[in-house]
Structure 1
Amino acid sequence: MISRRELLVAVPALGLAACSHDPAPSFPAFRFEGSPLLFNLADISIDNRFSPLGEGHLEADFDVSPETALENWVGDRLQAAGSSGRLVVTVTDASAVQERLSTTNGVEGLFRDEQGFKITVRLGVDFVADDPGRLSTARTHVEVEKFKTLAKDVSFTERRQAYYSLSRSLIDDFDAKAVPALRQHFRLFLG
């Protein structure tokens, strides 16, 4: 028979053992294959105008936030190859917001598998090219949004993996919209 003392030692030890099986994953930065878009401009810069305000913002909890994903995208996809003018990439939205979903309370809630959180990520970007020497300007706006729901009892590792996959999905959708938009609206500036 197990003594009370052994039980008091064993229960917390089991809890710690259960936590130790939640390994901390490693998440690499996003990279984008293929040839970059070559702009006949001297400079490409990022102007971040997004500031997370309000309740539920999670950007700091992401291993690769929407903003960081965009910075990687700009570095891999856009290249300056000219002698004058510039392309400004203005971030208007790079949010990651958590919303609590209603779940069943009490004993009944303990036995239900329910979604407890909705995570929404957004990316909004203005592209503006200006070359005073050629008297040319071009602009376009690209916006994408993704969301995912998470179980009410989601683990720390599952949450981090969800954030990472959400960011990856967001920037892949952004890439699919931004590259054709840039090719269409910035023809005069592409080399």
Structure 2
Amino acid sequence: MGKLRINVLVGLMAGLLALSGCANTPNKPSYAEITFSHLDPIRLDVGEIRVVNAYKSPLQAPNVEHELPVKIDQSVRRWAQDRLQAVGGTGSYAVLTIKDASVIEKTLKMKKGLSGFFTNDQSEKYDFRVAAELKIETINGEKGLVAAEASRSKTVPENITLNDREMMYFERTEALMSDFNAQMEKNIRAFLGKFIR
């Protein structure tokens, strides 16, 4: 009888420990899609707008773009949906080609020994990059081409949590896309003015 009581107590304690471990697990945050609908659309004299993703992620280190909660290539697609508006006739088209949507992780040197034990070093650097080109061709054979690219970098400490890393991914992607939006709009207005209505 004493042995059974000990087994029951051990089982109860193990169950309580397991439950307390679950209670401390942080909830994984969800992230909104990065949108541009608050900005006026750029009205193009074309009948159709296509988006082509020419960037293929290797899905392995040092690339980590596949780990982002909101992907760069999806954000470029959303940019095209929100910012580019086809208002022309059939036969004319615009093609937005995604050339780069990468995030590269680089391991940084950290202090070793006793001084390294007492410091919280920056352990990784992330280089975010987006590049795309917009080509327009009208039914009359007129053509136009512009490109835009943007890049951002961020280092993180060695003790960063998974949730904090994901938040950093999101914030950097959002800033990157803001830069891309500004650059692409500037180039469209400067070099494709005759196609804007």
Q: TM-score, normalised by structure 1?
A: 0.87
Aligned to 1:76: 82
Pairwise CA distance, 1:113: 1.2
Pairwise CA distance, 1:164: 0.1
Q: Which of the residues 39, 50, 59 maps onto 2:55? A: 50
Q: Secondary structure at the match of 2:97?
A: strand
Instruction: Map residues 1-191 of structure 1 onto 2, 5 A cutoff.
Output: 16=21, 19-20=24-25, 22-32=26-36, 33-53=38-58, 55-83=61-89, 84-131=91-138, 133-191=139-197
2-structure distance, mates of 1:154, 1:135: 54
Pairwise CA distance, 1:104: 2.0
Pairwise CA distance, 1:23: 2.8
Pairwise CA distance, 1:109: 2.4
Structure 2 residue identity aligned to 1:147: S
What stretches of structure 2 of length at least 5 have no aligned partner? Answer: 1-9
1-structure distance, mates of 2:84, 2:113: 53
What stretches of structure 1 of length at least 5 have no aligned partner? Answer: none
CA deviation profile, 1:128-187 (whole Å, cap 9, x unmatched): 1011x2221000111110011111111000000000001000000011111111111111
2-structure distance, mates of 1:143, 1:89: 13
Q: Secondary structure at the match of 2:182?
A: helix
CA deviation profile, 1:58-85 (whole Å, cap 9, x unmatched): 1111111111111111111011111131
Query: CA-atom RMSD, angstroms?
Result: 2.2
Pairwise CA distance, 1:18: 8.5
Pairwise CA distance, 1:97: 1.2
Pairwise CA distance, 1:14: 11
Q: Secondary structure at the match of 2:172?
A: helix
Pairwise CA distance, 1:17: 6.7
Pairwise CA distance, 1:110: 2.9
Q: Secondary structure at the match of 1:95?
A: strand
Structure 1 residue identity aligned to 2:174: R
Q: Secondary structure at the match of 1:94?
A: strand
C-alpha contact (below 8 Å) 2:46/2:94 kept by paired residues: yes
Q: Which has the larger radius of gyration?
A: 2
Structure 1 stretch 52-61 or stretch 180-189: which is displaced more?
Answer: 52-61
1-structure distance, mates of 2:75, 2:87: 23
Structure 2 residue identity aligned to 1:185: F
C-alpha contact (below 8 Å) 2:57/2:66 kept by paired residues: no
Q: Secondary structure at the match of 2:55?
A: coil
